């Protein structure tokens, strides 16, 4: 399998965690800025030009959650990231949607806006993203009371989504000190070997973080 990705990308880390959890072999096709050949291959596979994209034999699979579902179906390992029982799987998928839509998306809005020229900044959109993050942190703090992992009582797809989402969201819009369950969960995610590896591999790229990476994590 070939994964078109960049180690510093949050959605790529989401899939890298799943691959590392099960020691699944793959080749990284690095989408480095300026590598036109890799970019052209990526665009021909997925004209939407979002990463990651997985190529598995003749199949091209896009969207991080779907790639993780694909891995569970076609390359299962000892760590099952989508539970077998369909009701429990639904809880996992709901939390996965929560992290993508309400943590990752507003975090990307804030980071993406900071890359724009001053005259193209979207102050209103960024303010909305910050409000959404505050609401999401508050909801998550209640949801995580008494929970180790996001859903199903075990590490899952939802935690693969949560790890990079909370990692970068806390950099872009710090999680309030009152949200101790969210902080504790973020620390647990950082201690998980699969995510710790993804974070370490991405360390050299921290100077690319447009808001300035804090000196921690």
Ligand X SMILES: N[C@@H](CCC(=O)N[C@@H](CS)C(=O)NCC(=O)O)C(=O)O
Binding site for ligand X (CB under 6 A): 9-11, 49-51, 63-64
Cβ-based nearer residue to ligand X, 178 or 210:
210
Q: Least distance to ligand X from the beta carbon of 48, Å?
A: 8
Cβ-based nearer residue to ligand X, 74 or 147:
74
Cβ-based nearer residue to ligand X, 10 or 156:
10
Q: Least distance to ligand X from the beta carbon of 50, Å?
A: 4
Q: Least distance to ligand X from the beta carbon of 176, Å?
A: 25
Q: Least distance to ligand X from the beta carbon of 47, Å?
A: 12
Q: Least distance to ligand X from the beta carbon of 127, Å?
A: 21
Q: Are 110 and 126 in contact (CB under 8 A)?
A: yes
Cβ-based nearer residue to ligand X, 104 or 144:
104
CA dist list (Å): 135 to 12, 59, 165? 25, 38, 15
Cβ-based nearer residue to ligand X, 12 or 183:
12
């Amino acid at each position: 399998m070939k994964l078109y990705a960049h180690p510093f990308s949050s959605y790529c880390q989401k899939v890298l965690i799943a691959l590392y959890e099960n020691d699944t072999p793959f080749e990284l096709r690095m989408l480095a800025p300026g590598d036109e050949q890799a970019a052209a291959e990526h665009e021909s596979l997925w004209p939407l030009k979002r990463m990651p994209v997985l190529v598995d034999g003749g199949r091209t699979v896009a969207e991080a959650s779907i790639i993780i579902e694909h891995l569970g179906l076609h390359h299962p390992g000892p760590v099952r990231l989508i539970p077998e029982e369909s009701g429990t799987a639904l809880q996992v998928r709901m939390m996965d949607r929560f992290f993508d839509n309400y943590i990752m998306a507003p975090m990307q809005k804030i980071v993406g806006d900071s890359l724009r020229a001053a005259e193209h900044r979207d102050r209103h959109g960024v303010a909305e993203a910050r409000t959404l993050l505050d609401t999401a942190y508050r909801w998550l703090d209640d949801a995580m009371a008494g929970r180790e992992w996001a859903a199903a009582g075990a590490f899952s797809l939802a935690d693969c989504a949560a790890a990079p989402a909370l990692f970068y969201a806390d950099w872009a819009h710090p999680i309030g000190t009152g949200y101790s369950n969210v902080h504790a969960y973020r620390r647990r995610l950082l201690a998980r070997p699969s995510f710790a590896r993804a974070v370490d591999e991405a360390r050299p790229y921290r100077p690319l973080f447009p808001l300035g990476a804090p000196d921690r994590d």
